[in-house]
Amino acid sequence: MATTSPPRPRLTSVVGWWALTILTLVVLDDLTFGPAFWAISRLAGPLVAVAAIYAIYVPVQVYLVARGTSDAPGRFATFFLRRLDLERRNVHVAQNERRLRAKVLGIGSALLGSLVIGGILPPLLLWRSGTPRAQVLRLSVATSVLYATEFAVLHGLLPAAF
């Protein structure tokens, strides 16, 4: 008796759902905070916006990783950490996000992942998988700077070009 495997989804469908997943992850942060930094960039200039992004994003992300890896994160950190772990309503997007998070297996993938899912989740995912806290905290500085750089280009420098 031969068994049949489930039909493979078409490439366009897979690419479409991955694009939607990444768009969802980017939009969550970009639509929440992006407009404020676009306004700062347009009103005060791109250097002020970029400086504000680094001054806010890097310390806050490092702080949230430090609190997220502690025994008692506190109310402020818990609020933001819960926001990052929201379950997506669309089943396909939720599945793709779980797959994306599962690919964070080491320092290299955490750095690359920070460009898509931010500077907080990749170190926390490594910590949950057993990476020592001290290493996770050092990594959080790099992922936070990398994500802040991406955000600064998109919301600090690009608005000045238009």
Residue range 15-74, pLDDT digits in tens: 776 676 666 666 666 777 888 899 999 999 999 999 999 999 999 999 999 999 998 888
In a domain, 1, yes or no: no
pLDDT of 104 higher than 70: no
- The confidence score (pLDDT) of residue 56 equals 94
In a domain, 2, yes or no: no
Range of the domain at 112: 12-161
pTM: 0.72
In a domain, 117, yes or no: yes
In a domain, 143, yes or no: yes
- Give me the phi and psi of 119, to 5 degrees please: -90, -5
Q: Could you give the CA distance from residue 99 to residue 27 in angstroms, rounded to a whole number?
A: 19
Q: Could you give the CA distance from residue 126 to residue 113 in angstroms, rounded to a whole number?
A: 12
- The confidence score (pLDDT) of residue 90 equals 65
Structural domains of the chain, count: 1
- The confidence score (pLDDT) of residue 142 equals 96
Q: Tell me how far CA of residue 40 lies from CA of 56, 148, 158, in angstroms.
A: 13, 16, 12
Q: How confident is the model at residue 116 (pLDDT cuts 50, 70, 90)?
A: confident
Most confident range, picked from 71-85, 93-107, 143-157? 143-157
Rounded mean pLDDT of 117-135? 88
In a domain, 7, yes or no: no
In a domain, 46, yes or no: yes
- The confidence score (pLDDT) of residue 137 equals 96
